[in-house]
């Protein structure tokens, strides 16, 4: 299961109810902050998530509405020193701009409060957790080196205790090895293969996060059958031309992608303050009936073969 908490859902400039792009993806003890628009640190506080273990930041691209919050975050960290190491993953161009912001503007030669690792992203796996992987894939937006992120739980074969009982497998390391796919020799000399006690393969949850993007053709395969897709919807279809010009999507285009790719749940973000939320929602739902428009402090739980669960970590008046 992956949980996503939205901290900022506004496009380009904040609105009264929406902060600039930022969200946290949570899986077990792992946390990834995706994008860090201006004001993100206050949103982190308001959300109750806190700064602990928030040491991995993924940046979709280098536009200011997605990175300016890094400066304030670093400045706060330098007073509190809550973490030892900060990893920032981004494409090369974004990373250069982030380097200027953090080392040029914030630190200006001072020693960073923690080890800051600026990690260049290329297409492919960028992080492996215990039971999931995180990959980056290129997306088309203004400027070079823009990326989306795919979180993917590893496929699993469930352990079937009734089969283990029937085979008289004693509790202990033998069961653990079988769960891990290893054949074992029991104390009585019998050999047991994992196939004898494991059920059919269960695919893990797939969750795709796309930041700003102006074209969806290349995204269909990566989004194929994803359990959750978060993607921008900066415009509505009456301004398709404008969307094309600024390399953004309309709510309709985002919904069409989700439908074409067989995505289970679609969550729209990067909402322009020129629209009413319900109009954006209506445009998307005309194509993808269960589409949602994220608000700041919404939390969504995304899990294979289950309905998405939406809750709020903090009430807002939006
Ligand atoms: Zn943006
Ligand atoms: Zn952008």
> Over the stretch 27-45, which tens digit does the pLDDT of each residue have?
999 999 999 999 999 999 9
- The two tokens of residue 133 are 């992987």
Ligand closest to CA 61: 2
Identify whether the C-beta of residue 114 lies closer than 8 Å to the C-beta of residue 123.
no
**C-alpha of residue 225 to centroid of ligand 2, in Å:** 26
Mean pLDDT (whole number) for 176-203: 91
Q: What is the pLDDT of residues 267-295, one digit of tens each?
A: 999 999 999 999 999 999 999 999 999 99
The bound ligand whose nearest atom lies closest to the alpha carbon of 12 is: 1
Of 35, 65, 227, 298, the catalytic one is 65
d(CA 149, CA 246): 21
User: 7 CA to middle of ligand 1, Å?
Assistant: 14
User: What spacing in Å lies between the alpha carbon of 63 and ligand 2's midpoint?
Assistant: 5
Question: Closest Cα to residue 17, out of 299, 276, 254?
Answer: 276
DSSP state of 127: E
Q: Report the alpha-carbon distance of residue 261 to residue 138 in Å, rounded.
A: 17
**Residue of higher predicted confidence among 155 and 253:** 253
Q: Cβ(53)–Cβ(60) under 8 Å? A: no
Evaluate if residue 317 carries a pLDDT over 90.
Answer: no
How far is residue 297's CA from residue 288's CA, in Å, rounded to a whole number?
23
Closest to 23 in 3D by CA, of 40, 11, 38: 40
Residue 172: pLDDT band with limits 50, 70, 90:
confident
- Give the distance (Å) from ligand 2 centre to CA of residue 13: 11
Q: What is the pLDDT of residue 77?
A: 86
Whether the per-residue pLDDT at 150 is higher than 80: the answer is yes
**Ligand sitting nearest the alpha carbon of 11:** 1
CA of 67 to the centre of ligand 1 (A): 10
H/E stretch holding 65: helix 64-67
Q: Among the bound ligands, name the one nearest to the CA of residue 94.
A: 2
Tens-digit pLDDT profile for residues 78-115:
887 678 899 999 999 999 999 999 999 999 999 998 99
DSSP code string of 244-276: HHTT--BHHHHHHHHHHHT-S-EEEE-B-TTS-
125-144 per-position pLDDT tens digit? 999 998 999 999 999 999 88
Percentage of the chain beyond pLDDT 90 is 82
Q: Residue 318: is its pLDDT beyond 90?
A: no
Q: What was the pLDDT predicted at 180?
A: 85
* Dist. CA 116 → ligand 2 center (Å): 24
Q: What percent of the chain has pLDDT over 70?
A: 99
Per-residue pLDDT of 217-228, as tens digits, reads 999 999 999 999
Which residues, 6+ apart, have CB-to-CB distance to 167 below 8 Å?
192, 196, 197
| Average pLDDT value for residue range 153-158 | 90
- Whether residue 84 lies in the annotated active site: no
pLDDT at 81: 64
With the C-alpha atoms ordered 173, 174, 175, 180, is the resulting torsion angle positive or negative?
Answer: positive
Residue 221: Cβ within 10 Å count: 9
| This prediction's pTM | 0.91
For residue 203, the CA-to-ligand 1 centroid distance in Å is 32
Length of the chain: 318
| Mean per-residue pLDDT, 155-182 | 89
Res 301 pLDDT > 80: yes
pLDDT tops 70 at residue 119: yes
- Looking at residue 113, its pLDDT comes to 87
């Amino acid at each position: 299961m992956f949980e996503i908490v939205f901290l900022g859902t506004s496009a380009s400039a904040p609105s009264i109810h929406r902060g600039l792009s930022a969200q946290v993806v949570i899986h077990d003890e792992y946390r990834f902050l995706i994008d860090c628009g201006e004001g993100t640190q206050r949103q982190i506080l308001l959300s109750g998530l806190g700064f602990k273990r928030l040491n991995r930041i993924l940046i979709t691209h280098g536009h200011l509405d997605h990175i300016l919050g890094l400066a304030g975050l670093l400045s706060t960290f330098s007073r509190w020193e809550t973490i030892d190491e900060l990893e920032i993953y981004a494409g090369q161009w974004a990373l250069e701009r982030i380097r200027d912001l953090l080392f040029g503007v914030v630190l200006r030669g001072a020693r960073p409060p923690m080890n800051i690792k600026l990690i260049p992203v290329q297409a492919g796996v960028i992080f492996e957790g215990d039971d999931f992987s995180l990959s980056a894939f290129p997306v088309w937006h203004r400027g070079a080196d823009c990326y989306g992120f795919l979180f993917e739980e590893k496929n699993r074969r469930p352990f079937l205790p009734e089969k283990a009982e029937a085979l008289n497998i004693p509790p202990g390391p033998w069961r653990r090895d079988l769960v891990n796919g290893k054949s074992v020799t029991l104390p009585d000399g019998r050999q047991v293969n994992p196939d004898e006690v494991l059920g059919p393969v269960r695919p893990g949850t797939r969750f795709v996060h796309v930041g700003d993007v102006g074209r969806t053709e290349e995204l269909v395969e990566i989004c194929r059958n994803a359990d959750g897709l978060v993607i921008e919807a900066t415009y509505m279809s009456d301004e398709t031309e404008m969307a094309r010009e600024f390399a953004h999507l309309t709510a309709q285009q985002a919904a069409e992608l989700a439908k074409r790719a067989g995505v289970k749940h679609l969550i729209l973000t990067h909402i322009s303050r020129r629209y009413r939320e319900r109009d954006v929602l209506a445009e998307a739902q005309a194509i993808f009936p269960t589409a949602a428009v994220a608000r700041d402090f919404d939390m969504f739980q995304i899990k294979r073969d289950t309905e998405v669960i939406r809750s709020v970590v903090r009430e807002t008046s939006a």
